[in-house]
Copies of this chain bind each other. A is one copy, B any other.
Amino acid sequence: MSNYKTSTVGLAEQFKALSNPHRLALFQRLMTCCVPGTQCGLDEAARFCVGDLGEGLDIAPSTLSHHLKELQRCGLIQTERQGKNVHCWIDPAVLDKLSHFFAVR
């Protein structure tokens, strides 16, 4: 447990979150705002709200909510209420960590 995010169990939880096609699609949408020059999580214009994220995925709101909760539980995404909406975003450090895991160098 020295570092939850990089331990085998913590990593496995993140991969489990990404193992569902719906959740992976949600994550990929959030990734699109993580581009050069953009500060994910700081630039609110680059965030998605829950409803918009689920657009076109054809799942019930309760299912969408459940999936986002799973993504958050394992540390893959962040959420914050903004009035009637709840905004979601990815901390770029999360992507860095996962990218490096597979980069054996």
Question: Which residues of chain A have a CB within 8 Å of any CB of chain B?
Answer: 4, 8-9, 11-13, 15-16, 18-21, 24-25, 28, 31, 34-36, 92, 95-96, 98-105
Among A12, A36, A98, the one with the most B-chain Cβ atoms within 10 Å of its Cβ is: A12
Closest 5 A/B residue pairs (Cβ): A16-B19, A99-B102, A15-B18, A98-B102, A15-B19
A54–B4 alpha-carbon span in the complex (Å): 14
Q: At the interface, is chain A mostly helix, strand, loop or mixed?
A: helix
Residues of B within 8 A of A9 (CB): 21
Per a CB cutoff under 8 Å, which of B11, B12, B95 touches A103?
A: B95
A56, closest chain B residue (CB): B1
